[in-house]
Structure 1
């Protein structure tokens, strides 16, 4: 099978996704109670950039794109369904209610008849019913990524989009030769936490927004992150890939930066989201002098938000990378253990109602397993691991992936070892934990 050489950007993005922890997409969901006004669904979701979107049920229409007779240009995606939902009548659960509604949608398309490509891309945080009937007690939500492509020839295709990179080996050309739908979060009805584990988020936003329209039922002004009736550039991708791109055989390389986006901004007041990623220290001697550093990583809204390490004097401002919400700071103070750090994130410049959040992070050493090897012939497990505290190396202990104790590593320096017999089978994974809180886990390499 012919395999085209992927574009370097696609390789870089794919590598970053594979080599880093899962990108935090959504931060929180309405805990309830869940009311008939929202069809028994969660009223809102909040993303890691701090924006809160309501379940979009408004019949406000676009002031930029006129509707056609019988098809109003709603700012929310409200699809009529005969016998289920009549959009000319008031929404009422369950007698006149859509069988699918959305907190967020973003759609894009690439059509090139000359190259034989017809691509549709859709992503959403969706509310639906497990049996596809509007019935109370059957409500579910999920994060969706859908990619469908007509392709002219067999081969390997790479689709880069705002929430990741997908690689497709296509055995034959044809309509919808690529047909991927990934729904994450469907669980027990009326439980809505599952969508938080999906790969949709932070919410994409139209660069022309937010847009303000009037709800005809209430007369209230409402704000929206996009207008689904038009196409525009967006921002918000966690990987700075605010586009859809397809690469494939015979030099195929097409892209679009235009999306149709829907999402209604909520009036719910929420604190600034901040997620701990790493807080570690290291220290060593250099020419007789102590060298120490503390490294702090958090996920929080990008600028104009701020993140500040407030547990030291003077306070230390964290630096953000590429509008993705990844923040970092390094302090050269020698820590007095045990120690907790405190980081305050503040997003009120972007979202005036947002309140600051202070997060407490335990400071630990950084443990690295350098070798985890099991000899099938001898039944011996060999571990080599190190701690970042070279001046006062703490005790390192090992356990199997299921928590069974293996033993304590030995050695006077920062690098410690353990060789011990384990039977009747090797552990699949080991974890080495430091007395100063650091830990590392690795799969065990099996040798003859």
Structure 2
């Protein structure tokens, strides 16, 4: 996967269910120097790149430029077994000399990289996989051209046309190789997908936070400690790119590669070559609250209510608690080391209310700073069950409901995510709106609650 910046290779992508839309990938990036050019070369950074990225498991990785070598795999003459990916580039980067920006610097480097493969000659499958947080250049290696992005790359030689499903640590991608495409390629790289997310202007490294990568995969045998020959310092790495090993860290607990396809193809690999240098910077434990909502209603035995909190934070031995609207501490639980925590309180809230979520990671990372506490508003849940436009009548019909069935708040419908108000939904907890028709329906509608909940849906067109 390690070559120059490619925005999007040709692919036959039928559908994609990746972490980018449902799972926070990364948590934070080095903010640079406030009030100045964010990453000045005259500072201790010396590359113009963000020094580090942090994931939701609390691990922080530096831009990997160390010449520390593996103590598990001996290098060949002229090809040291570096713990970082430092590929020589004739005329640009000589790895036998000191790394100096920009005169002797790789045209691509990495905060994180994981490579995997599946090769089965008998079944005609040859799959290459790469996941990375990459540093590259928009043009020549020079200050002002620095860029970062999150990359997923899948390339597969296939034996026949058909639908192939690739499951990987950061999602599921489905490819339809048509007979024409198979004939054109002969099956060689009939699947050829590169998804780069986060490429922005030089000096802005926040885009990669929205990509598919994260938390960082790490070897189940790590971390590894090696000596940097340039400084004599001991450094730690989440994996050894010279060794294929089992890993952990997938946000979906899919710490493997798997390809399924026509004629019963179903092949799996559980090993990856991983590179990433653990940073010495001390950062607070991440706590990313995905949802804090309440539901309540009348039952034959009285009012039943609950407050639900979903948070991404370091998995055990990390801990997460939240204080509900009454100030009672609720211990949250995590089931499968993905860092997805859940907690519930049976207290009937008085809204508006703000909950306090606290994550502590010092048992996993002793140098971690004190626990992180995040305030988050408690909202109801809004669900749109119908958003339908009739071409015949010109009517837009919207049905929506709120999880507050005891004292339902006002719901309002808008055209699009930030468009004009369509109207107020009438009724009790389940509400309906049929405003006067128009010739042009909105592509989407958004329904918001006076108690903070919201939902957005595409409008279905009917005769």
Question: Normalising to structure 1: TM-score of the pair?
Answer: 0.92
Q: Following the alignment from structure 1 to structure 2, what is the Cα–Cα distance between the partners of residues 158 and 420?
A: 43
* Alpha-carbon separation, structure 2, partners of 1:398 and 1:294: 25
Find out whether 1:169 has 2:185 as its counterpart. no
**Distance in 2 of aligned mates of 1:26 and 1:306:** 19
Which residue of 1 is the match for residue 227 of structure 2?
214
1:181 aligns with one of 184, 189, 194: 194
Distance 1:345-1:15 versus aligned 2 partners, 3 A rule? farther
1:239 is matched with which residue? 252
1:427 to 421, 439, 442: 442
Match of 2:162 in 1: 155
Q: Give how far 1:339 is off.
A: 0.7
Q: Deviations over 1:66-118 (max 9, x none)?
A: 11111111111111111111111111111111111111111112222222222
Bigger shift: residues 264-273 or 148-157: 148-157
Q: Secondary structure at the match of 1:420?
A: coil
Shift of 1:264: 0.2
Q: Deviations over 1:22-74 (max 9, x none)?
A: 21111111111324445211111111111100000001111111111111111
Match of 1:54 in 2: 62
In structure 1, the residue matched to 2:390 is 375
Please identify, of 375-384 and 433-442, the stretch whose mean Cα deviation from structure 2 is larger: 375-384
Q: Is the CA contact (8 Å cut-off) linking 1:147 and 1:179 kept in structure 2?
A: yes
- The 3 A distance-change label for structure 1 pair 38 and 178 is farther
Q: Which residue of structure 1 aligns with residue 297 of structure 2?
A: 284
1:388 to 395, 399, 403: 403
Query: Alignment partner of 1:196: what SS?
Result: helix
Query: Partners in 1 of 2:195 and 2:337 — Cα distance?
Result: 26
Q: Which residue is equivalent to 1:126?
A: 134
User: For structure 2, which runs of at least 5 residues remain unmatched after alignment?
Assistant: 1-13, 33-37
**TM-score normalised to structure 2 length:** 0.89
* 8 A contact 1:38–1:55 mirrored in 2: no
**Residue matched to 1:11:** none
1:410 paired with 2:406, answer: no
Aligned length: 433
Alignment of 1:18-417 (within 5 A): 21-32=21-32, 33-36=38-41, 37-131=45-139, 133-170=140-177, 171=179, 172=182, 173-287=186-300, 289-311=302-324, 312-355=326-369, 356-401=371-416, 402-411=418-427, 413-417=428-432
Is the alpha carbon distance of 1:49 and 1:184 closer, same or farther for their aligned partners in structure 2, counting shifts above 3 Å?
same
Moved more, 364-373 or 200-209: 364-373
In structure 1, stretches of 5+ residues that fail to align are 1-13
Per the TM alignment, residue 333 of structure 1 is displaced from its structure 2 partner at its CA by: 0.7
Does the CA-based 8 Å contact 2:20-2:212 persist in structure 1? no
Q: 1:169-192 deviations in whole A, cap 9, x for unaligned?
A: 223143222221111111112221
Where 2:310 maps in the other structure, the secondary structure is strand
CA contact (8 A) 1:245 1:254 kept: yes
Contact 2:17 2:173 in 1 (8 A): no
Choose 377-386 or 51-60, whichever is displaced more. 377-386
Give the secondary structure class of the aligned counterpart of 1:410. strand
User: 1:340 Cα deviation (Å)?
Assistant: 0.7
Q: Does the 8 Å contact 1:39/1:97 carry over to 2?
A: no
